[in-house]
Chains A and B, each alone.
Chain A
């Protein structure tokens, strides 16, 4: 088993620490290792030394003590490290000095739970603006859901953005409300003339308290919430949450349901890529492609509504399976759609890849180096355009992908053009996968009986969403109620990447850079 070998390498790299890797059924395929809080940083350094990727970190305020978790991945093998924290004074060595990707997630944990990350290079707040006070941490169990907010929450005007000095430098502040129809966030540029020297992003505007709202919900309630963590990734988050609760409960999902989940996830991928390719073209004034891809996406969404009951595929999954089956006629309709989409994409792709004015705007714009992508742990199309091809469907396959060969596109130029090409390629791959899934849909039911596990059961869900590796951790309390839900959207790694790829580009190219990266706002703000 790959995870075992990874855990063994970690053990060898840390001879001074007695590591005993073990498995826990709910947390498979990851190996679990327990360390003392004092060894947290040493373990992180060892993982870094082995070339592992920092995937996620969350803290679970269990009744007796708190537990911190960090997930490392290397070559598709996962190790999940845990340590116990004192709830009266929760402290943990920061991993940010070793893994840049841990920066904002650790700050978010501090804001919500009050865990102090010692040695964190940036002690500014992240998710907290002015709705609660610095000494209040709303996710702590004793804090009421309603909190004690002011009647009118003031704007977070005092946030200490990094400043650039220099006579010619000026700042451009954008947001939270942007010019177009887009989620809210604040961007602070330091520019000289038209050229951006730095960009700092500030999120948290769509913080809705997802993790707090999950506490006390049953499985169905949790899945409704998971489906709305990020509206463009509703299948990905719902599937990750399903996987977590099903592993926690030891629930065996029927093969047909798993195949249909794969189909839904690929449909979500195609819909988003169609929209994004059009929007990237639209952001540089190529409205022909924007309209063409907008029409393709509309037809795709209509078919989703017709066959699965929802244009964005919300609430199509349930604990133990999926809600909707597909009959022979539906299968034929989908296969025809796939063939038609392929036929329509071929000439459009030829135009997109060979249009001088488009090339002029997209090639060499917003270059994310392979080194930066690696350091920041970039996933999905963002990583694949900069040479990183990690894909759970191929590298740590879960059903139904364990039976399917998944091609993963890779480009090395790291620019907007590459991120658009990855999307186009991934549409092709998704169509192949869906054809294969539909050609051999396993017979049988599309869901199984769901029975909640006893208190204390916990599970980990990991799926390849359209943005990349999407995670959910769930721990159950009494009566089948959720005690902790920690989702992690891959968009978390996109925002720091946007900050690294923008300097040197002109401000008018920011929208297309941003769209090509497409980090989630709501998915990160929770």
Chain B
């Protein structure tokens, strides 16, 4: 226990302040509409990998590390889409995941934002549409926020999530 406490104390706080000055546009994040302050203080996300290579998932994991500490913004990942304000979709929509994605979306309370994260989810990326894939998420669901990148770095993901929250639409 002492070793752990020692380590915790010597590590200190790694969490970085977020520079809120940068415009979303310059980061390539596309917000379809002003999303308002409806979710201020608490924002629950259900992530769905609809056919990703796992690159985006690794960067979403990184949102939880001490440097980014997503939860300080009141944003958290939830297991059930019924508890979620937003669906964070990564990957192209593989045809084998189409039904699961639609069901997850249908299970959400409205308005039920859809955030497409990563090149595949935004525009089909390297895989596009084929016998196996429907391509971008908007071929299946209306998308509210697009976060580009292959994969988007955690800082970019964070911006996009804050945009979805309506905190950073200016």
Contacts and interface: CB of A to CB of B under 8 A. Distances in A.
Given A231-B57, A351-B4, A206 B66 contact: no
A145 interface: yes
A229 interface: yes
Nearest to B126: A228
A523 B55 CA distance: 11
Contacts of A131: 95-96, 131-132
B77 interface: yes
Contacts of A347: 3, 7
Given A156-B96, A176-B97, A213 B130 contact: yes
Contact of A209 (B54, B127, B153): B127
Contact of B53 (A132, A147, A155, A231): A231
A184 B67 contact: no
Interface in B42-95: 47-62, 64-68, 77, 79, 91-92, 94-95
Contact of B52 (A129, A144, A279, A522): A522
Contacts of A154: 99
Sorting the interface of chain A by its residue count into under 10, 10 to 19, 20 to 34 or 35 or more gives 35 or more
Interface stretch (A39-47, A76-84, A295-303, A494-502): A295-303
A505 interface: no
A155 B100 contact: yes
B169 interface: no
Contact of A294 (B62, B77, B96, B151): B62
A294 B131 contact: no
B14 interface: yes
Nearest to B68: A298
Given A131-B95, A182-B49, A232-B54, A301 B62 contact: yes
Given A206-B49, A314-B150, A231 B58 contact: yes
Contacts of B58: 231-232, 275, 312
7 contacts: A146-B130, A153-B98, A153-B99, A208-B94, A209-B130, A213-B127, A231-B53
Given A206-B91, A294-B66, A314-B150, 13 more contacts: A152-B98, A153-B96, A156-B96, A177-B48, A182-B49, A184-B48, A206-B94, A208-B51, A208-B130, A209-B132, A231-B57, A292-B11, A312-B58
Q: 10 shortest A-B CB distances, which residue pairs?
A: A147-B131, A231-B55, A294-B65, A209-B132, A131-B95, A179-B79, A231-B54, A231-B53, A153-B95, A155-B99
